[in-house]
């Protein structure tokens, strides 16, 4: 049987990974500044992570959400403590798109409305309402397009007020930092106004922290730079360090009713073991502060040494926009310097490394990029 051919692949077969490094089947060692798309938070194959998942599997790997799983509550407690959001409630699911679907559903149940507001260049996933709220017509199929979604310009308070004042919007969704759209940071004042307007017009505010959350920005969630209290926060990627897990944080004003949400696999024992290991390592190794420090250092180093059009980022979520297209530089980084990086659009190199990245490893990237740029 053939695989359904939807991914553009690099000709690389990873067989082993540790910390910030990956090895391929030919013995090449790569520095991972992509983290499997912002997923690897505590580093590849962290010993505590490996132990927690494997010892859990020896006890019990799966049962459905019809029985009590005390690890879900343990995960909620540790997440509340590290994020400072312990008055919110946690719903566990399996992926980012699923977290957003559940967030839309909650907002719609709560408000009785069905319209969604999203922003230009947003990416919220590839399922029903999540893809409809994604600003990329190419990936929205006719079956997704019945959702009522309005896209507004980023950082534009007047446009938000004009739309919300009609009082028919269930939810506004915004990324803590736009990832796929090019590492675009919402202005702090914009987020504060957005929250005020949502409250004024009875709309719920959903913060999509699927890529920017879990310490990557140098705070647990990127929106925390603005001090707002969203109604709903969605997360995934870094939450499981590669084990599929997603979550929705729900403010106390939104009340649960039996059966309103559900999932077969969400919050299973292995996912909880992975999620707990991530939070334990993040706390033990102080990874949020580390991401902030290494990120600030890396940003300064790039600013000073690499010619670019615009540099954007917070913590270890960094976009370097160039005047020229960068697919060949990205390819050279990978093939000649053995460094994995991400991309946004055609001109922006996107860095999403594990939060354990060291200063020396970040230097090795800046040095290699400098050499390649000067020789091209």
Ligand X SMILES: Cc1ncc(COP(=O)(O)O)c(C=O)c1O
One DSSP character per residue, 101-131 reads HHHHHHHHHHHS--EEEEETT----SSHHHH
Out of 96, 186, 238, 242, point to the residue binding ligand X (CB under 6 A). 96
Closest CA to 62 of 265, 244, 246: 265
Check binding of 124 to ligand X (CB under 6 A). yes
Find the residue with minimal CB distance to ligand X. Answer: 96
**In the complex, what is the shortest distance from the CB of residue 101 to ligand X, in angstroms, rounded to a whole number?**
9
**In the complex, what is the shortest distance from the CB of residue 297 to ligand X, in angstroms, rounded to a whole number?**
25
Q: How many CB atoms are located within 10 Å of the residue 165 CB?
A: 12
**180 or 198: CB nearest ligand X:** 180
Contact by Cβ (8 Å): 177, 222:
yes
Check binding of 101 to ligand X (CB under 6 A). no
Binding string to ligand X for residues 232 to 271, with x set by CB under 6 A, is what?
----x-----------------------------------
E-state strands within 209-355? 232-235, 246-250, 310-314, 317-321, 339-340, 342-344, 348-351
DSSP SS3 for 30: strand
**74 or 228: CB nearest ligand X:** 228
**93 or 169: CB nearest ligand X:** 93
**In the complex, what is the shortest distance from the CB of residue 323 to ligand X, in angstroms, rounded to a whole number?**
26
E-state strands within the chain? 14-18, 21-24, 29-32, 89-93, 115-119, 149-152, 169-175, 204-208, 232-235, 246-250, 310-314, 317-321, 339-340, 342-344, 348-351
**180 or 233: CB nearest ligand X:** 180
Check binding of 95 to ligand X (CB under 6 A). yes
Out of 32, 101, 135, 208, point to the residue binding ligand X (CB under 6 A). 208
Q: Which residues bind ligand X (CB under 6 A)?
A: 95-97, 100, 123-125, 175, 179-180, 208, 210-211, 236
């Amino acid at each position: 049987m053939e695989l359904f051919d939807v991914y553009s692949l690099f000709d690389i077969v990873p067989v082993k990974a540790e910390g910030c490094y990956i090895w391929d089947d030919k013995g090449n060692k790569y520095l991972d500044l992509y983290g499997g798309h912002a997923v690897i938070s505590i580093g590849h194959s962290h010993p505590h992570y490996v132990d927690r998942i494997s010892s859990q599997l020896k006890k019990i790997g799966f049962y459905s959400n019809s029985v009590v799983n005390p690890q879900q509550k343990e995960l909620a407690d540790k997440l509340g403590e590290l994020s400072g959001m312990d008055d919110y409630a946690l719903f566990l699911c399996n992926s980012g798109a699923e977290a957003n679907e559940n967030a839309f559903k909650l907002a719609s149940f709560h408000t009785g409305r069905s319209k969604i507001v999203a922003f230009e260049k947003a990416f919220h996933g590839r399922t029903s309402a999540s893809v409809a709220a994604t600003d990329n017509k190419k990936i929205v199929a006719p079956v997704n397009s019945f959702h009522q979604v309005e896209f507004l310009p980023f950082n534009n308070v007047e446009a938000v007020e004009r739309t919300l004042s009609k009082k028919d919007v269930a939810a506004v969704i915004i990324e803590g930092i736009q990832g796929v759209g090019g590492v675009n940071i919402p202005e702090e004042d914009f987020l504060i106004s957005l929250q005020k307007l949502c409250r004024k017009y009875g709309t719920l505010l959903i913060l999509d922290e699927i890529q920017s959350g879990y310490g990557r920005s140098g705070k647990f969630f990127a929106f925390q730079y603005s001090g707002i209290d969203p109604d709903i926060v969605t997360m995934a990627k870094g939450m499981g360090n590669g084990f599929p897990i997603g979550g929705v944080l729900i403010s106390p004003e939104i009340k649960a009713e039996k059966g309103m949400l559900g999932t077969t696999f969400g919050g299973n024992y292995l996912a909880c073991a992975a999620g707990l290991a991530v939070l334990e390592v993040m706390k033990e190794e102080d990874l949020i502060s580390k991401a902030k420090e290494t990120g600030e250092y890396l940003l300064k180093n790039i600013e000073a040494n690499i010619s670019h059009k615009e540099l954007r980022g917070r913590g270890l979520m960094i976009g370097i926009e160039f005047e020229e297209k960068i697919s060949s530089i990205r390819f050279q980084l990978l093939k000649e310097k053995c460094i994995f990086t991400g991309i946004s659009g055609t001109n922006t190199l996107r860095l999403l490394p594990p939060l354990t990245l060291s200063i020396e490893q970040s230097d090795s990237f800046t040095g290699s990029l400098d050499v390649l740029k000067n020789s091209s």
